Structure 1
Amino acid sequence: MYLEEIFGLKGKVAVVTGGNRGIGQVVAEGLARAGAEVIILSRSGAEDTLKKISDAGSRGYHIKTDVTSEESVAEAFRQIVERSGSIDIVFNNAGICLHKDTLEASVEEFRRVVDVNLTGEYIVAREAGKIMMEKGIQGSIINMASMSGSIVNIPQWQCSYNASKAAVIHMTRSLAVEWAEYHIRVNSLSPGYIATPMSVDTPKELKEAWMPLIPMHRMGKPEELVPAVLYLASNASGYTSGSDVVVDGAYTCV
């Protein structure tokens, strides 16, 4: 009962972008297990995620959404408010990565990464914040950053990804201060190497290079991010805003 009072999300409406697979899917299930209704926003279907939400004893639905489009996001949020009545939590997770040397990557490729990882999160956070203010919701927005926003990954080169995630961290701080008077909390989550398709499907030589650099000598599990998200989404973090929560097996410590 005590933990439910602090970390429970019963009666809350949570939105997860990019929740059709990987970290987004696992976090969506975790939010559902904590009692939240979970809405998935993604460009493709989310049948597997919706089944996991249902199996967790909660309810949810999917809305096809392009996070880089203001119109698409606004329409998705309009439907959520109409159907669910509120938006209390946003896990701003949609993102892409490009492993390419800077001189080989095109400007268009750089812009695409920044458009999804930074501008997309800005559009989603902005729309969510607007609704929270209008309805007087003391909500929580959790932006997906990365340890790559604080360090430079080696041996792969991914300037566009690193730059986008560093910007997400500072955008989070800026929004946290700007929206504090509305009791809207904005924090970011910075995972290290997590065993998802984005990292597992990378070349073997890269993964072999990563392991000695991680003090724990292993990749994290997506499930190991869920407790941090539940903390940031729940009443437990009522005085936490503008923080970047790093979950990286101590990678950024050395």
Structure 2
Amino acid sequence: MSIMSRFSLAGRTALVTGGARGIGLATSTALAEGGAAIILVDRDGEAAENAAAQLRERGFDVVAYPLDVTRSADVTALADRYSHVDILVNNAGIARSNIRAEDMTDDEWTSVVDINLNGMFWCCRAFGRHMLERGRGAIVNVGSMSGFVVNRPQEQAQYNASKAAVHQLTRSLAAEWAPRGVRVNAVAPTYIETEMTRYVYDSPELMQHWIGGTPQNRMGQPDEIAAVILFLASDAASLMTGSIVLADGGYTCW
């Protein structure tokens, strides 16, 4: 097998959570370009269908489903329906910032942890069972550099904690499932330019901390994270499991 052929996903099926926009849509696109059939899921069912339609216009094999990853039973039902999924990308997540820990409400804590950590585990568990039965599969979790460092100047203890937990969950599952043919890795992005983060350009203080604190002196783009996910999902990363790949423009170097 040639090196380049290891990047091909032809004949495989990939499911991407939070796939309707940002990193999720870029990842759905990248995996489709790699040859995979895509199951694009998102809590916003209309957005998921619109994104899938755009990809189908390019000739890709894509279906869309609404899914709230915090609903364990719904996740299990979808996994049982699509028990042939070869690649799972756990991208669904939220960030709620500028909340001091001492002022944080129960909901402000649990709403983030339920999606970023619990929902990710429900997906890993449900789809992982079928992968283990078949003796093969690749899972890629979207963590964050916030699982390594405490971001400045915004207070976001619940987000940072949830992403650090994602990294350790990734390692734990990798260690358990490697002998049975299932690889589990994660990517840890820096600040990524999406509709949700462009407000940084209007805040000199945030700009200094976010971009001024990054050796590459810029934010990342969704397709730059999607490229890492494509690699981790492919046979090109066949020796990798339990890895947390930082894609942070050098932010954690300083």
TM-score with structure 1 setting the length: 0.93
2:50 corresponds to which of 34, 48, 51: 48
> 2:102 & 2:195 partners in 1: Cα distance?
26
Q: Name the structure 2 match of 1:39.
A: 39
Tell me the amino acid that sits aligned with residue 219 of structure 1. M
SS in 2 for 1:240: coil
Percent of paired sites with the same residue: 41
2:71 corresponds to which of 56, 69, 72: 69
Deviation >6 Å, runs of 4+: none
Residue 76 of structure 1, CA deviation: 1.4
| CA shift digits 1:112-166 (9 cap, x unpaired) | 11111000101000111101112x1410000110000000000111100000000
| CA shift digits 1:30-89 (9 cap, x unpaired) | 0000000010121112133213422443211111111011111011122223xxxx1100
Residue 220 of structure 1, CA deviation: 0.7
> 2:211 & 2:64 partners in 1: Cα distance?
36
1:144 corresponds to which of 124, 142, 145: 142
1:1-254, aligned counterparts within 5 Å?
A: 2=2, 4-44=4-44, 45=46, 46-81=48-83, 86-99=84-97, 100-134=99-133, 136-201=134-199, 204-205=202-203, 206-254=206-254
8 Å Cα contact 2:3/2:236 also seen in 1: no
| CA shift digits 1:189-229 (9 cap, x unpaired) | 10001101232245832234322101111001111112211
- Residues 114, 202 of structure 1: CA spacing in aligned structure 2 closer, same or farther, 3 A cutoff? farther
SS in 1 for 2:59: coil
After the TM superposition, which of the residue ranges 230-239 and 194-203 deviates more from structure 2? 194-203
8 Å Cα contact 1:33/1:56 also seen in 2: no
> 2:60 & 2:135 partners in 1: Cα distance?
21
Tell me the amino acid that sits aligned with residue 53 of structure 1. L
8 Å Cα contact 1:220/1:249 also seen in 2: yes
Tell me the amino acid that sits aligned with residue 189 of structure 1. V
> 2:126 & 2:199 partners in 1: Cα distance?
33
Residue 2 of structure 1, CA deviation: 4.2
Q: Any stretches of 5+ residues in structure 2 without a counterpart?
A: none
> 1:35 & 1:118 partners in 2: Cα distance?
29
> 1:203 & 1:221 partners in 2: Cα distance?
15
TM-score with structure 2 setting the length: 0.93
8 Å Cα contact 1:88/1:137 also seen in 2: no
Residue 170 of structure 1, CA deviation: 0.5
SS in 2 for 1:103: helix
Tell me the amino acid that sits aligned with residue 69 of structure 2. V
After the TM superposition, which of the residue ranges 9-18 and 49-58 deviates more from structure 2? 49-58
After the TM superposition, which of the residue ranges 204-213 and 235-244 deviates more from structure 2? 204-213
Q: Any stretches of 5+ residues in structure 1 without a counterpart?
A: none
8 Å Cα contact 1:63/1:76 also seen in 2: no
After the TM superposition, which of the residue ranges 223-232 and 40-49 deviates more from structure 2? 40-49
After the TM superposition, which of the residue ranges 43-52 and 32-41 deviates more from structure 2? 43-52
Residue 4 of structure 1, CA deviation: 4.7
Tell me the amino acid that sits aligned with residue 150 of structure 1. F
